[in-house]
Amino acid sequence: MLKSLKAVSQRSWTVLGLIVYLIAAVAVGWWWFGQSTADTRFVGTWNIRSEVTPPEIAVELDLRADGTMHMRVRNRETGAVLSDHPFGRWRVAGDRFHEIHATPADTDPTLRRFFTRKKARVLEYTVTWDGPNRFRLDPPALVPPTTWTRIESPSSP
């Protein structure tokens, strides 16, 4: 009797362990693929305009599928690149667009002793689409809204 009870108990623990393992695997997969998938409507290169952008400057922002952003600033007349650098991360939740910017300490380890802020800065905007290749971001504060017009998408040649 004791042997059969012990065998049932061992089988139960094995089954329970397998179930917990499968649940954990599904949860990790859900989190992993949920983190890496971006809203594909936003992926591509965009021209950004606002009322504070000087007319001689063109600001382009690449929104990449891995959630990173890359900014280029050009002279509108000559096309010369004035600035070209990574610009943080992005994500979309519902009708909210989030820009996530690392602290200076994250990007330059020598600055860690001067900057004590540990969390990245997240800016949240309301998204309003004006067709498939144009949208507007409205910030909650006193910053003017920006209009984004698609220059190219990953599916363009």
pLDDT tens for each residue of 12-33 = 667 656 665 666 655 545 555 5
Question: Contact, 92 vs 42, CB < 8 A?
Answer: yes
DSSP string covering 85-119: EEEEEEEEETTEEEEEE--HHHH-GGGTTT----S
Two structure tokens written together for 67: 């959630």
Class of domain 44-152: mainly beta
Q: What would the pLDDT profile of 40-89 be if each residue is shown by its tens digit?
A: 899 999 999 998 889 999 999 999 999 999 999 999 999 999 999 888 89
Indicate yes or no: pTM above 0.85. Answer: no
